[in-house]
Structure 1
Amino acid sequence: MKTEASKISALLITFNEIEHIAAVLENLSFADEIIVVDSFSTDGTAEVAAKAEGVHLIQRPFVSFTDQKSFALEQAGHPWILFTDADERIPERLKEEILTTVGEVENPASAYYFRRTFMFKEEVLRFSGWQSDKNFRLWQKEQCHFDPERIVHETLIVNGPTAVLQNKLIHYSYSSYEDYKAKMVKYGQMKAREEFARGKRFLWPARWLRPWYKFFNHYFLRLGILDGKKGIIISYLNALGVHARYKELIRLRREGD
């Protein structure tokens, strides 16, 4: 029998996730509550979430990923947090491992990393830098919070030990070239704003050298070459994200001057 101490709040932030919303809510249905914080989607995402059984929908303007996720975290009513993205899925074996971890482990860690399998459309991307990818997805609410200084690629501050679950999360991040390109450019621009706010400066050659190094790192050093055409595409788009970051930093610096 599940105790109060082992109950899970599943959290999700969304904006125009109609492609994923129904499937991810069904996937998270084993949690004791599901909270969706939506940034006023225009594609029907909020309507689907509002009609889903056991889902609490909150609509709120988007400021940054950290701000939105911190707000969602504050709404959680249970001790354990399961925070996923709309394009992620929890396979059955990982679900069982999660329930065992929160319900049967005597001294659980404060937070758990999930390794992720990156899907390129319907195919697994085995290399290109994703082979070692992992993120915090499960943690104890009272022992963790998001770093307020990070606005993109948000960082979880953990007060206590961490561990890694054995089974992998499935990440359906790449649905099309244009979609992934827009995502990388957006992340790059948001990263630039974060760095500009911290007063970061850079040497001009970095604008050209860093994107090339990003491609070289993912395609050669991180073995993207073994992923064939998929590896070229992912490595290029990751490099494009770095280029977008420096372009935005230059724009912000000129406006500041």
Structure 2
Amino acid sequence: MPLRLSVVMIAKNAADLLPDCLASVAWADEIIVLDSGSSDDTVALAQSLGAQVHVNTDWLGYGIQRQRAQSFATGDYVLMIDTDERVTPELAQSLQQALASPQPGAVYSIARRNYFLGRFMRHSGWYPDRVLRLYERARWQYNDSLVHESLACEGAPVVALSGDLKHLTCRDFADFQRKQLTYASAWAQERHQKGKKASLGGIFGHTLGAFIKTLLLRGGVLDGAQGWLLAVVNAQYTFNKYTELWALNRGYSKKA
């Protein structure tokens, strides 16, 4: 019997993104969408496009929400994607080949092609940006991290798939900045809860390091104007993370 694939995603206010996302995985055996409390037409639209939709508004972080979404899946394998991602035809073919000849216990990495201010980046640490997204449902799941969650699969062999996952990372700069600030705050809260500290020197050291790493070490300069801008954005994000942690350490910001 052929192995079944469940495409799983979490969503909130993604009505403008869902049609293309779901169309790119329409060939899967089932599509699971866990909505986090949308105020737009995300739920109705996903249902009309053939997805199985569930709702859970008790937000405990990205990792927990992905675990909840996976709990509704019934396939042998899970492909975890986001609403702002699209599976290219080349990747779809590679995924289907992997399911036809699976390697038991292995997890599969996928190259993401990230979009930033009108350009799919080719350098800057944003390509190939491999992520672990295809895995056995009964064997693996995501960790509990509030933000920057990852698949908990330590020791598993990793198989690289061909084809790209298009990621519409930054279509609107203001919205992207708001998300970055949210991620930075969640990162700082999580680190603070673990007793981590930040110093003034550390703030500026990490910030400068992020700029240099993106622009020079990761070849951002080869991405033209977007490479320079992304280097600044990454430095800004790093500055926000460590400054928020510094403020939490000293009681200048509210704990979650």
Q: Distance between the aligned counterparts of 2:21 and 2:172, measured in 1?
A: 19
1:17 equivalent in structure 2: 14
Give the structure 1 partner of residue 219 of structure 2: 223
Equivalent-residue separation in structure 2 for 1:252 and 1:202 (angstroms): 9
Higher mean alpha-carbon deviation, 217-226 vs 160-169, is at 160-169
Residues 188, 245 of structure 1: 8 Å contact kept: yes
Secondary structure of residue in 1 paired with 2:227? helix
Measured after TM superposition, the shift of residue 207 of structure 1 is 1.4
- Displacement of 1:109 in angstroms is 4.9
Helix, strand or coil at the partner of 2:162: coil
Offset from partner CA, 1:160-186 (integer Å, 9 cap, x none): 322111222111111022122122211
Does 1:84 find its partner at 2:94?
A: no
State the shift of 1:46 in Å.
2.0
Corresponding pairs, count: 251
* Contact 2:113 2:128 (C-alpha < 8 Å) held by counterparts: no
Gap regions ≥5 residues in structure 1: none
Aligned CA distance change for structure 1 residues 183 and 144 (closer, same or farther; 3 Å): same
Q: Tell me how large the CA RMSD over aligned residues is.
A: 1.8
Separation in structure 2 between the aligned mates of residue 26 and residue 168 of structure 1, nearest angstrom: 16
1:197 pairs with one of 190, 193, 199 = 193
Tell me, yes or no, if the aligned pair for 2:34 and 2:54 is still in contact at 8 Å.
yes
Does 1:143 pair with 2:139? yes
Structure 2 partner of 1:70: 67
Larger mean CA deviation between 14-23 and 105-114 belongs to 105-114
| Contact 2:197 2:246 (C-alpha < 8 Å) held by counterparts | no
Matched, 1:236 2:232: yes
Match of 1:26 in 2: 23
What are the within-5 Å matches in structure 2 for residues 136-175 of structure 1? 136-148=132-144, 150-158=145-153, 160-175=156-171
User: Could you list the runs of 5+ residues in structure 2 that have no partner in the other structure?
Assistant: none
AA partner of residue 114 (structure 1):
I
Secondary structure at 1:193's aligned position in 2? helix
Q: Specify the code of the residue in structure 2 equivalent to 1:85.
A: D
Question: Any conservation in 2 of the 1:184–1:237 contact (CA below 8 Å)?
Answer: no
Q: Quick check: 1:110–1:143 contact (8 Å CA) kept in 2?
A: no
CA contact (8 A) 2:117 2:173 kept: no
More moved, 238-247 vs 68-77 = 238-247
CA distance in 2, matches of 1:244, 1:32: 41
Compare 10-19 and 41-50 and name the one that shifted more: 41-50
2:175 to 175, 179, 183: 179
Q: 1:132 to 1:43 in 2, by over 3 A?
A: same
- List per-residue Cα deviations over 1:35-55 (Å, max 9, x = no partner): 1011111232222113222x1
Q: CA deviation at 1:221?
A: 1.4
Q: Measure, in 1, the Cα distance between the counterparts of 2:247 and 2:27.
A: 46
1:120-165, CA deviations, whole angstroms, 9 ceiling, x for partnerless residues? 25422111111341101110112212222x2211121226322111
Instruction: Tell me whether 1:59 sits opposite 2:55 in the alignment.
Output: yes
Identity %: 26
Specify whether residues 222 and 113 from structure 1 end up closer, same or farther in structure 2 by C-alpha distance, changes over 3 A only: same
Q: Secondary structure at the match of 1:244?
A: helix
Retained in 1: the 8 A contact 2:122–2:128? no
Per-residue deviation at 1:57? 0.8
